[in-house]
Amino acid sequence: MSIRKVNFALGEYYHIYNRGNSKQVIFKNKIDYQRFIYLLFLCNSLKNLRVNDISRDFFNFDQEKQLVSIGAWVLMPNHFHILLTEKMEGGISKFMQKLSTAYSMYFNSKYKRTGSLFEGKFKSEHAETDRYLKYLFSYIHLNPVKLVQADWKKAGIKNKKQAINFLSNYKYSSFLDYSVLKSRPEFAILDKESFPRYFPNREKFLKEIFEWLSYNSSEYP
């Protein structure tokens, strides 16, 4: 049995990620993405999850007590990233067990498959420094840029406007919950107050993100 390299502790921040077994696609359409987004909210509770909790307006679900605080997240076709911190001892492990199990059961049932959906246990990295923690907000939110230019980090952005427009319309991350003035239902997944106040306003967030793209944030719509 493998032993996790990172021991989770209250008050610390962690980058959690995992991908499909053998790099397989784990989100085949928008319904799959939406199911995982629902579960990000619903599984963050001590309460046991029931099927009817998913079928109703999930943001009215009474969480009672959350397991973790989520600061950023993104879903990609074959993997996901979550930035979080524990709200109670053992919270991360419990949350990820509930999330992975619930989504795997949904996916396997829908696509009539068996076996492990994910590539082993979820991976984790401890954000030990303030600099690295701040960087993770950019790293996570810029992941979708790879869908329009896979080599952008090495080659540089070839079409900055295209990249920004893509991010602006990508619904499967918390980017819009930081960059758009009007909040959306998915905003309930986040607990910004449990993270350092790196981005006190929309402008600060966009400036930080777009510096990685060498793009003038003032041009953002």
- Strand duo 13-19 + 68-76: pairing: unpaired
- Within the chain, which residues score under 50 in pLDDT? 1-3, 216-217, 220-221
Is 4 a member of any domain? no
Q: Please give the tally of structural domains in the chain.
A: 1
CATH number at residue 26: 3.30.70
* Structure-block tokens of residue 184: 């959306």
Is 190 a member of any domain? yes
Range 24-27, long-range pairs (CB < 8 A, 24+ positions): 24/78, 25/77, 25/78, 26/77, 26/78, 26/79, 26/80, 26/103, 26/107, 26/117, 26/118, 27/75, 27/76, 27/77, 27/78, 27/172
User: Residue 123 sits in which domain range?
Assistant: 13-219
What's the pLDDT score for residue 213? 83
What's the pLDDT score for residue 123? 96
What's the pLDDT score for residue 61? 63
Is 7 a member of any domain? no
Is 29 a member of any domain? yes
pLDDT tens-place string over residues 31-42: 999 999 999 999
pTM over 0.85: yes
pLDDT tens-place string over residues 113-139: 999 999 989 999 999 999 999 999 999
Is 116 a member of any domain? yes
Is 187 a member of any domain? yes
What's the pLDDT score for residue 181? 80
Is 5 a member of any domain? no
Is 53 a member of any domain? yes
